[in-house]
Structure 1
Amino acid sequence: MNTKDSKVTEGGLNVTLTIRLLMHGKKGETVKKMREESGARINISEGSCPERIVTITGPTDAIFKAFSMIALKFEEDINASMTNSTVTSKPPVTLRLVVPASQCGSLIGKGGSKIKEIRESTGAQVQVAGDMLPNSTERAVTISGTPDAIIQCVKQICVVMLESPPKGATIPYRPKPASAPIIFAGGQAFTIQGQYAIPHPDLTKLHQLAMQHPPFTPLGQTTPGFPGLDATTPTSSHELTIPNDLIGCIIGRQGSKINEIRQMSGAQIKIANATEGSGERQVTITGSPANISLAQYLINAR
């Protein structure tokens, strides 16, 4: 099929398109279902980053189907998280697309005319980041609104991307593993990336859980819940003893779990070698009080 003269068909454009999306967390099962139901190719970047790039490729109607499933899944997650929270206003569903910077101009339009038109006709909020994502020529485009508004918005963005293909070579954004410092503010966790604080939903959940059970008692030791969190708190260290038969589930296969805990908490964690005749191992956690309490929380959660 010649894409040059492709007409807009009912339900979408009949050309293959690739849309990239930034997401947090692992949604393996969900993705499998989305692939089957939408008919789109959906790939998730590998790696130990909390941020994953989700690449959705297919005819536009398959892309729209995949997006509507993603938006509805996100809405379910929001509803689920609201059932036991005190928040009365429902936060919108938010998706972050990754778009080559060379296409962002067309998306914004002359004097912002195109993006304004998209906002007004779909009712979704659309924001194009001013800066490119680190080490790439791509920008984040954040869309938020109701699932329906988001789908309408994605449709319009697809049209723009098809009408003005990227110019020159695109250096794709690859998320970096998070060794980023973490701050907590207003009950939310943020990781610092460059000069921005990025909300971190997984850590926020942990933080809220930890706040609901203060002070959690890690393996027979009492420490207050999250201390007054302050990015400049001095480093301190904390020791735990963990029974040998539990150490395996904390370390994980080839150290995968312990690395995850190190990454999410930002703390350094050393596990001493087993000593003869002792049924437990010494674990030393070093970092700011915030990092330590988060690491303890994650270890206890294991």
Structure 2
Amino acid sequence: MESPDSSCVSSPEVAPKRSAPPKSPSSDDKEKNTYIRFLASNAAAGSIIGKGGSTITEFQSQSGARIQLSRSHEFFPGTSDRIIMISGAFDDVIMAMELILAKLLSEVVQAEDSDDVDPKSKVRLIVPNSSCGGIIGKGGATIKSFIEDSQAGIKISPQDHNFIGLNDRLVTLTGSLEEQMRAIYLVLSKLIEDAHYSQSTNGPFSYSGVNFSSFHGIPYIQLLPSVGTVAYNAVPNVAGGKFQNSKEDRGNSVTIGVADEHIGVVVGRGGKNIMEISQVSGARIKISDRGDFLSGTSDRKVTITGSQGAIRAAEAMIMQKVASAAAR
């Protein structure tokens, strides 16, 4: 077994040859819902969301996967990076990941304004500590086979004892887009074999149980439970100018958090904005009173009730208002 303090660092140059390629997921596994989490800077997160949520909506529409982001002040412990989670069927998750990484890489190349830029970059996946052993394999055999297959560099961080209760580790993949995507395919194929992995999707952004110990870098910021996490969702199809809202599916309710300073733009003058969002989406929207915040935060509670489609539409419209206000 691998020690929790160990780290596994390998590169394509030192990987030994293997006799058989890693096993691809079965058709049954591919049809199961799965997820992948990774880190992104605030700038990268803004690029993924796009103006008014246009980019993230397009990526969700193209891939069929759901893409969620932690808010701008919610970081993975010990970093200044936000958490992005992609969920859905295996192939949908892979497609969404490729769309995102391709966009981020193209923007790096454009920023350098040169054709000589090395197109290698890195992505840091968040993986439960309990699942890392399967990626490493006996004597490091699995991770070495992944490196040989993908030609990407793969590094698994040691468990961070500066944060008591942190049960996730970072898997860093370096290489070209093609190399990274092959490595992601192999890693996720392995993760979905682990029954415990799929059970950890309930709180993708929640590190509220993690206690700060002795980290002297970026201050620890307590993250919200998943119920308070803003989820950016694809806007459903419009029918007759309004979002579909079947009678059978109006009892769903979701509560999201919106920063107190942004509530005004969501409500609008005389309640104009919130009335418009409610009318267009078909959802009922209730905002908590002043001083009534999500536990442990200064975010007001915004409760959206209606069909799943109406809730998704209202969420997207609310976040568009918030994103526009934050950009000013």
Instruction: Output the TM-score relative to the length of structure 1.
Output: 0.51
Q: Deviations over 1:60-106 (max 9, x none)?
A: 0101101111121121022112116xx95515121111000000000
Task: State the alpha-carbon separation in 2 of the partners of residues 7 and 22 from structure 1.
Answer: 25
Partner of 1:115: 143
2:92 partner SS: helix
1:150 partner SS: helix
Q: CA deviation at 1:53?
A: 1.0
Change in Cα spacing, 1:172 to 1:28, as seen in structure 2 (3 Å) is closer
Q: CA deviation at 1:126?
A: 1.1
Superposition pairs of residues 154-165 of structure 1, within 5 angstroms: 154-165=184-195
The amino acid across from 1:45 in the alignment is S
Structure of higher RCO (CA pairs closer than 8 Å, 6+ residues apart): 2
Partner of 2:240: none
- Higher strand proportion, which one? 1
The amino acid across from 1:142 in the alignment is T
Task: State the alpha-carbon separation in 2 of the partners of residues 123 and 89 from structure 1.
Answer: 19
Q: CA deviation at 1:127?
A: 0.9
Superposition pairs of residues 151-230 of structure 1, within 5 angstroms: 151-166=181-196, 174=206, 192-193=217-218
Task: State the alpha-carbon separation in 2 of the partners of residues 71 and 168 from structure 1.
Answer: 23
- 1:72 pairs with 2:135: no
Change in Cα spacing, 1:64 to 1:168, as seen in structure 2 (3 Å) is closer
- 1:28 pairs with 2:40: no
Of 27, 30, 46, which residue of structure 2 is paired with 1:13?
A: 30
- 1:144 pairs with 2:169: no
2:195 partner SS: coil
1:166 partner SS: helix
Change in Cα spacing, 1:138 to 1:28, as seen in structure 2 (3 Å) is same
Task: State the alpha-carbon separation in 1 of the partners of residues 38 and 167 from structure 2.
Answer: 15
2:35 partner SS: strand
Please tell me whether the aligned partners of residues 129 and 159 of structure 2 are also in contact (alpha carbons under 8 angstroms): no
Change in Cα spacing, 1:22 to 1:76, as seen in structure 2 (3 Å) is same
1:56 partner SS: strand
Q: CA deviation at 1:132?
A: 3.8
What percentage of aligned pairs have identical amino acids? Answer: 24
Q: Deviations over 1:124-174 (max 9, x none)?
A: 111111124844200011112111111111111111111123379868665
Task: State the alpha-carbon separation in 2 of the partners of residues 31 and 169 from structure 1.
Answer: 25
Could you list the runs of 5+ residues in structure 1 that have no partner in the other structure?
A: 1-5, 177-190, 195-252, 257-301
Please tell me whether the aligned partners of residues 40 and 56 of structure 1 are also in contact (alpha carbons under 8 angstroms): yes
Q: CA deviation at 1:255?
A: 9.4
Change in Cα spacing, 1:55 to 1:79, as seen in structure 2 (3 Å) is same
Change in Cα spacing, 1:52 to 1:168, as seen in structure 2 (3 Å) is closer
Please tell me whether the aligned partners of residues 24 and 52 of structure 1 are also in contact (alpha carbons under 8 angstroms): yes
The amino acid across from 2:58 in the alignment is K
Could you list the runs of 5+ residues in structure 2 that have no partner in the other structure?
A: 1-23, 75-79, 209-215, 220-259, 264-327
Task: State the alpha-carbon separation in 2 of the partners of residues 7 and 168 from structure 1.
Answer: 15
Task: State the alpha-carbon separation in 1 of the partners of residues 197 and 109 from structure 2.
Answer: 40
Of 65, 68, 87, which residue of structure 2 is paired with 1:43?
A: 68
Partner of 1:180: none
Task: State the alpha-carbon separation in 2 of the partners of residues 21 and 79 from structure 1.
Answer: 21
Partner of 1:95: 123
1:106 partner SS: helix
The number of residue pairs the alignment matches comes to: 180
Task: State the alpha-carbon separation in 1 of the partners of residues 66 and 207 from structure 2.
Answer: 21
> Over aligned residue pairs, what C-alpha RMSD do you find?
3.7
Please tell me whether the aligned partners of residues 14 and 60 of structure 1 are also in contact (alpha carbons under 8 angstroms): yes
1:192 partner SS: coil
Deviates more, 1:48-57 or 1:117-126: 48-57
Please tell me whether the aligned partners of residues 52 and 175 of structure 1 are also in contact (alpha carbons under 8 angstroms): no
Please tell me whether the aligned partners of residues 152 and 183 of structure 2 are also in contact (alpha carbons under 8 angstroms): yes
